[in-house]
Amino acid sequence: MQKIIITSNDAGRRLDRFLRKYLGNASLSSVFKIIRKDVRVNGKRRDNSYVLEEGDELTLYVNDEQLRAMTARPKAESRKLAKRTFSIVFEDDNILLADKPYGLLTHGDRHEKKNHLANQVRDYLIAKGEYDPRKERVFSPAPANRLDRNTTGLVLFGKNSEALRLLNRMIREDAVSKFYETIVFGDIDRELTLSGRLEKNEARNKAEILDESDERGREIETIVRPIQPLRDATLVEVELVTGRTHQIRAHLASIGHPLAGDRKYETPRARNFNRELYRKYHLSTQLLHSRRLEFRRPEGILGYLEGRSFEAPLPEQFRRILDGLEK
């Protein structure tokens, strides 16, 4: 038998979701069986959807050997802390705004499980003494938004469970405005509001833009504002009204203005332009930077962020290309 007192970082979770994380090595069916037969909250049976509150006493009537097998995790001390390569734009007790460099994954994947931004931020907080994985049962600091490996700029992290829940909801409900800067092929001389639908081809890892009347895909909206005309190109600000994978890259390419360096979505007319960028600046992927975040409707403990805006400076390579393309 084990008794667990629910902390502030565990509160607000459904009982089944808490136990699925806490009993990480148990099968889903085993977790639901344990909830039916072997769990009491404050001495009472609760169903899967019960929302845990801070101070709740959760009792697991599972023998010690089974419990060790279901909760076994690698020792934190056995893993070397990830070297920090990100910059910090803003940090307080609730959130951290990281400036992600080129080439770094936001989350790990099957090829890279250790050195990614989420681990770097986690290990930075461990080194500061603000996060101790040995004391937390299920919570880990995590990003609320995601950037592609070769997209640079702002990634928003929640440093505690309540802040992360609020950030995730704000991102879903478009209460955080996201602005990017990029260089696109060709001339754009006025603000454009682009709409349509986006369907992702997982096998090709490529998105297709569909007409609004098409029933496939998901609805998208992208606002493009020209900042500066360049030689054969335009520096633009892009506001994501919706946030889908590859939305900016696919949407701009669909109107004949693919992103500089973006071989995946380049148009035939942009091919020589990209070849020249590679020859002069070794640019082999999309030039895209998450430049600015604005908080429009923060809630709860994040209410103090109302109206605040944060910016990440353009990376060095972006600035060199911009200087080289000035008319």
DSSP 45-76: ---TTPBP-TT-EEEE---HHHHHHHH----G
Same domain, 183 and 267: yes
Q: What is the DSSP letter of 97?
A: E
| CATH number reported for the structural domain that contains residue 262 in this entry | 3.30.2350.10
- The residues that bridge with 293 in the sheet, in sequence order, are 178, 310
Same domain, 266 and 305: yes
172, 190, 220 — which closes off a domain?
A: 172
94: confidence class by pLDDT, cuts 50, 70, 90: very high
77: confidence class by pLDDT, cuts 50, 70, 90: very low
Residue 113 in 3-state DSSP?
coil
Residue 27, Cα to own-chain centre: how many angstroms?
Answer: 27
Same domain, 192 and 159: no
**Per-chain mean pLDDT for the chain:** 92
Question: Taking every pair of C-alpha atoms in the chain, what is the biggest distance, in angstroms?
Answer: 74
Contact 3, 58 (CB under 8 A): yes
The residue-averaged pLDDT of 241-269 equals: 95
Domain range spanning residue 191? 176-325
pLDDT tens for residues 38-54?
999 999 999 999 999 98
- The number of domains in the chain is 3
75: confidence class by pLDDT, cuts 50, 70, 90: low
CA 22 – CA 140 distance, rounded (Å): 12
pLDDT at residue number 134: 81
pLDDT at residue number 96: 98
For residue 105, what are the CA distances in angstroms to 109, 155, 164? 8, 11, 19
Same domain, 168 and 80: yes
Same domain, 180 and 153: no
Same domain, 114 and 234: no
144, 172, 200 — which closes off a domain?
A: 172
Same domain, 57 and 83: no
Question: Considering only 103-112, 123-132, 198-207, 219-228, which range has the smallest mean pLDDT?
Answer: 103-112
Same domain, 33 and 106: no
Same domain, 83 and 38: no
* φ/ψ (deg, to 5) at 7: -95, 175
DSSP 249-283: HHHHHHTT-PBTT-TTT--GGGHHHHHHHHHHH--
| CATH number reported for the structural domain that contains residue 34 in this entry | 3.10.290.10
Name the strands in the sheet holding 57-60, side by side, starting at the edge strand that comes first in the sequence.
2-5, 57-60, 39-41
What is the reported pTM? 0.84
CA 218 – CA 302 distance, rounded (Å): 30
111: confidence class by pLDDT, cuts 50, 70, 90: confident
pLDDT at residue number 113: 67
